[in-house]
């Protein structure tokens, strides 16, 4: 007599084994479903995030390799891959949009959330309409120059910089960062370091350092986990609301976009 299982009855072991084997087979098929030319890159460590229709009958791919964005294009005969950005006849980088949408955009959104919950020092009016996060080492000359360049917007009340204090450049970077972060008035301590930068910056308070050095090491770890290696590294919101990042000293022509207004 044939046994009919109800919805609440567990199937017998042979049935479970059959479906498990089928799912494993499907998974293996899915992993190797890419054309051979693409599969070569996958086997070399490329993690494909998205694919899209590209000009010339090609298929575009974006992904990551060792944490870095990569882009490539499969030719229409599906036998060759062209690695790198695609540029239109007008000079527009067609790849950048897809990388931003699928990779750097989500990464920056996640980073912004982590930065909000990190230890930072407010620099500017509390109700400033534009908020910018920047990793700042007290001994960093480029951080110093970035703060000088941003001062007109800060003084006008348009921008609030949030300095995520790190100590990575010199032996006394961490003590200085902890002294600023743990001061009774961190913003004033930050400004003191800015004013006295050419004379070795803020004086280290060993007692404050002892109580606050772990906050700086946590910021150091956050910076490293985000894949950043230079200060300043700055996250800001573009006019369309997307989050962008610049590593190193921004160029003068970048400032208006980052501050979301022309020079005050």
Q: Please give the mean pLDDT across all residues of the chain.
A: 87
pLDDT at 24 over 90: no
Percentage, residues of the chain above pLDDT 70: 88
Residue 29, pLDDT score: 41
Provide the residue ranges of all domains of the chain, joining segments of one domain with +. 36-103, 118-259
30-36-39 Cα angle (round to 5): 60
Residue 32, pLDDT score: 55
Task: Please name the fold of domain 36-103.
Answer: Nuclear Transport Factor 2; Chain: A, (3.10.450)
Pick the CATH number of 118-259 from 1.20.1250.20, 3.40.50.1370, 3.40.30.10, 3.40.50.1580: 3.40.30.10
Lowest mean pLDDT among 47-61, 106-120, 218-232: 47-61
The Cα 85–Cα 257 span in angstroms is 23
Distances (CA, A) of 115 to 105, 125, 162, 225: 15, 19, 9, 12
pLDDT at 6 over 60: no
Residue 101, pLDDT score: 79
Residue 103, pLDDT score: 79
- If one counts every other C-beta atom within 10 angstroms of the C-beta of residue 130, the result is 17
Q: For the whole model, what pTM was predicted?
A: 0.73
pLDDT at 252 over 80: yes
């Amino acid at each position: 007599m044939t046994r009919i299982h109800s919805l609440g009855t567990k199937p017998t072991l042979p049935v479970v084994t059959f479906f498990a084997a089928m799912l494993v087979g499907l998974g293996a098929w899915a992993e190797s479903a890419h054309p051979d030319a693409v599969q070569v890159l996958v086997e070399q460590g490329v993690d494909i995030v998205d694919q899209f229709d590209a000009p010339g009958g090609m298929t575009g791919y974006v992904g990551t390799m060792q944490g870095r964005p990569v882009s490539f294009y499969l030719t229409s005969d599906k036998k060759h891959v062209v690695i790198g950005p695609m540029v239109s006849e007008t000079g527009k980088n067609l790849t950048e949009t897809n990388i931003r949408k699928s990779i750097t955009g989500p990464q920056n959104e996640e980073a912004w959330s982590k930065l909000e919950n990190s230890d930072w020092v407010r620099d500017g009016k509390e109700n400033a309409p534009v908020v910018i996060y920047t990793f700042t080492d007290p001994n960093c000359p480029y951080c110093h120059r970035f703060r000088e360049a941003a001062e007109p917007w800060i003084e006008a009340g348009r921008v609030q910089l949030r300095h995520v204090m790190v100590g990575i450049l010199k032996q006394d970077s961490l003590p200085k960062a902890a002294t600023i972060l743990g001061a009774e008035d961190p913003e004033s301590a930050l400004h003191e370091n800015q004013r006295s930068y050419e004379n070795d910056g803020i004086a280290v308070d060993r007692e404050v350092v002892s109580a606050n050095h772990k906050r700086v090491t946590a910021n150091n770890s956050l910076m490293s986990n985000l894949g950043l290696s230079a200060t300043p590294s700055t996250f800001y919101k573009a006019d369309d609301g997307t989050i962008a990042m610049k590593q190193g000293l921004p160029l003068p022509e970048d400032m208006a976009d980052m501050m979301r207004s022309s020079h005050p």
